[in-house]
């Protein structure tokens, strides 16, 4: 081989290496890991099969259920979407029996693996603040038996066990450094945190700045809860600065965990959101506030930043919720936390736009909604080929611009390199 060939071969290798590096460094960061809560307390929701393209199109890679609905889990098979499945509060007493715990795992989890990527089981929901001593006493034994069942079935390396709490477990939450758990719950929480420490599962918190604002709108600045504060607050004890209430709430829980000696247990956010509508006495429950909160929350998720106390922590945030749920009890706000209406159109604009599937020639199917065609490939005008979601023209334009910009940079660099 002559010197010219050797030089060309060396140059080609250098160029290929450079291309590899550029493809990593210049590729736009369009995709981020979004988690979404998929509740189904409604009689007008689309079928699970119609929900799959919606979830994927908004960039959600993680879904949290409040049950282990086989229709949903089968619909999401081979999609790569990760699932937290729920084991309802009504099952906790039964889970004290190891055999029933193992039967539940076989029926609701094992049969869907590995096609559906179930990675976590949430045993009960906000149990400790329900003021039900029997339910509370059943929680940890249920978690332990479910975990033992996973071990016996050789599934514990891929599926972890946890439970979700609301901020009512805190005695003090302000300033964040003073965060501590309620004295009457401290012992139970110590045992639960010890379980997390031993099994490597996350401590889940449902964090809602909305409820803090709703309970005291005259004292809580709305811009602080909507991630739009110019000044924020500084914790006088820790010296840490907080630009929003969401981070302050999370670090209050971090402080409480530290006080019990569990600093290394991972904390994750299983729910957070804002209602787009509420009753007259529900301060802040407006479409504009919901849009601001969730738009800023999505920016926060995309930035992959932790909290002032844990700047490198991945919070694995799950937004509440995918749909408005018309049969949820309580005030109007409870039925209006959804990013989407049941027909697939956005409750408000967050940068993606869905097309209603309501049509005159479709009928309501069990578990579905009028207008959602069960015919594969049905695609109303303006919708995507899956018949559910159409990305807005603005989003398409931005993606196209990003693609063109990336390749222009790449080819310009190649040409400059070759000329050199």
258 is catalytic: no
Torsion of CA 247, 253, 258, 262, to 10 degrees: -110
126 is catalytic: yes
- Which residue in 162, 95, 120, 115 sits closest to 35, CA to CA? 120
Take residue 53 and report the two structure tokens written for it.
């393209």
Catalytic residue among 126, 144, 282, 325: 126
Residue 100: alpha-carbon gap to chain centroid: 29
Q: Which helix (H) or strand (E) element contains residue 387?
A: none
Take residue 301 and report the two structure tokens written for it.
């998720």
DSSP 266: P
* Other beta carbons less than 10 A from residue 16's beta carbon: 10
Residues 309, 176: contact at Cβ < 8 Å? Answer: yes
Residues 249, 178: contact at Cβ < 8 Å? Answer: no
Q: How far apart are CA 310 and CA 295, in angstroms?
A: 23
- Which residue in 189, 148, 151, 150 sits closest to 168, CA to CA? 189
Q: How far apart are CA 302 and CA 387, in angstroms?
A: 27
Burial 395-417 (b: 16+ CB within 10 A, else e): eeeeeeeeeeeeeeebeeeeeee
- With residues binned 3-state (H G I as helix, E B as strand, rest as coil), the percentages for the chain, rounded to 5, are 40, 15, 45
Catalytic residue among 82, 90, 171, 271: 271
Q: Tell me the catalytic residues.
A: 126, 271
């Amino acid at each position: 081989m002559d010197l010219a060939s050797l030089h060309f071969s060396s140059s080609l290798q250098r160029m290929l290496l450079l291309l590899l590096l550029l493809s990593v460094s210049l590729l736009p960061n369009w995709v981020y890991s979004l988690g979404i809560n998929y509740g189904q307390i409604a009689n007008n929701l689309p079928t699970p099969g119609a929900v799959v393209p919606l979830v994927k199109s908004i960039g959600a890679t993680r879904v949290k259920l409040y049950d282990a609905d086989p229709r949903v889990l089968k619909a999401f098979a081979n999609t790569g979407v990760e699932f937290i499945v729920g084991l309802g509060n009504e099952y906790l007493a039964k889970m004290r029996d190891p055999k029933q715990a193992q039967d539940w795992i076989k029926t609701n989890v094992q049969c869907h693996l590995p096609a559906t990527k179930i990675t976590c089981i949430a045993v009960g929901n906000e149990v400790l603040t329900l003021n039900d001593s029997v339910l509370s006493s059943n929680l940890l034994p249920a978690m332990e038996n479910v975990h033992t069942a996973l071990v016996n079935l050789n599934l514990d390396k891929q599926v972890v066990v946890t439970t979700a709490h609301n901020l009512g477990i805190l005695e003090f939450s302000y300033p964040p450094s003073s965060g501590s758990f309620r004295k009457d719950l401290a012992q139970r929480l110590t045992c639960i945190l010890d379980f997390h420490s031993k099994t490597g599962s996350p401590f889940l918190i449902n964090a809602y700045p909305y409820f803090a604002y709703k309970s005291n709108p005259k004292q809580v600045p709305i811009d602080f809860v909507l991630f739009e504060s110019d000044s924020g607050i500084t914790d006088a004890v820790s010296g840490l600065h907080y630009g929003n209430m969401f981070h302050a709430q999370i670090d209050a829980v971090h402080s409480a965990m530290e006080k019990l000696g569990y600093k290394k247990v991972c904390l994750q956010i299983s729910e957070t959101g804002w209602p787009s509508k509420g009753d007259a006495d529900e301060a802040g429950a407006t479409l504009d506030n919901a849009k601001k909160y969730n738009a800023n929350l999505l920016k926060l998720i995309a930035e992959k930043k932790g909290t002032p106390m844990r700047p490198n922590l991945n919070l694995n945030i799950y937004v509440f919720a995918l749909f408005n749920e018309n049969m949820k009890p309580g005030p109007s706000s409870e039925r209006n936390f959804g990013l989407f209406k049941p027909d697939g159109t956005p409750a408000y604009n967050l940068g993606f736009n869905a097309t209603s599937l309501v049509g005159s020639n479709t009928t309501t199917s069990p578990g579905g909604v009028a207008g959602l065609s069960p015919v594969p490939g049905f695609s109303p005008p303006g919708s995507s080929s899956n018949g559910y979601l159409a990305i807005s023209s603005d989003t398409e334009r931005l993606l196209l611009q990003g693609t063109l910009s990336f390749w222009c940079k790449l080819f310009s660099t190649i040409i400059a390199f070759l000329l050199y």
